[in-house]
Amino acid sequence: MGFCSEQLQRVAPLWQQMLRHPFLLQTRDGTIPRETFATWMQQDYLFVEAAVPFLAALIPKGPAHHWEPMTQAIGALLRELRLFEERAAAVGVQLRGSRPSFTTHAYIQFLLATAERATYEEAYTVLFAAEKAYHESWKVVQLGLSPGSPWQPFVENWAGATFAAYVTYLEGELDALAGDAGPDLLSRMATAFETTVRYEIAFWEMATTGDSWPGIPASGERW
């Protein structure tokens, strides 16, 4: 069994918790409050904007045969930003100027710090875990979303065949990196995998429960 399958099996309880998160189920069923979905759009837009520097910072650390696919992945992220902007305009959500929630801020810092400080193998693990999580999360939504839903383009983006092929490619490459890794590095990669899943859960949770910071009443928010 490859590293990715092993990790998915190891964190299966967390993974399942992620896939049955109310945000996904309510989006699928069309019962998600519009404001909740808007919060997610605003916060995820900030996250995708941070994912571009994350990917770019990986290129200098990776093998030359990863340069072209990683460059294409950056191109895909840039198109994803356009998708957010187009959807936000379509449904009247203000994207720009949002303040990052605590969870968004933390997840972005995690991406940036990982890109700079962790090994390529750990950072690639974060990339795979986050993309795999989005692919499977939006496949959950896909299994019931009304065809006329304004969120269909998100489903098409992350649950679709192109993204599926990208995730499969990442899995193969990550399994290969893990195959060359010693026990210490493998252990750190496993931690990176689980931490990413935890952040993914925290992200859906934040979209649902609001974008506040711990210990600060909403009225104190000014950042």
What does the alpha-carbon distance between residue 75 and residue 61 come to, in Å, rounded to a whole number? 19
**For residue 201, which phi and psi values (nearest 5 degrees)?**
-65, -45
**Which residue stretch of 28-36, 104-112, 156-164, 168-176 sits at the interface with its own copies (rule: CB under 8 A)?**
104-112
Q: Where are the alpha helices (DSSP H) in 63-182?
A: 67-91, 102-117, 120-142, 152-159, 161-179
Asked if 2 touches its own copies (CB under 8 A), the answer is: no
What does the alpha-carbon distance between residue 1 and residue 219 come to, in Å, rounded to a whole number? 51
**Which residue stretch of 28-36, 37-45, 152-160, 208-216 sits at the interface with its own copies (rule: CB under 8 A)?**
208-216
What does the alpha-carbon distance between residue 36 and residue 27 come to, in Å, rounded to a whole number? 10
Asked if 86 touches its own copies (CB under 8 A), the answer is: no
Cβ nearer to its own copies, comparing 46 with 167: 46
Give me 160's structure tokens: 């679709």
Give me 123's structure tokens: 């950072």
Asked if 195 touches its own copies (CB under 8 A), the answer is: yes
Name the residues that contact its own copies, by CB under 8 A.
13-14, 17, 21, 49, 52-54, 56-57, 59-60, 64, 67-68, 71, 74-75, 78, 102-103, 105-106, 108-110, 112-117, 182, 191, 194-195, 198, 201-202, 204-206, 209, 213-216, 220, 222-223
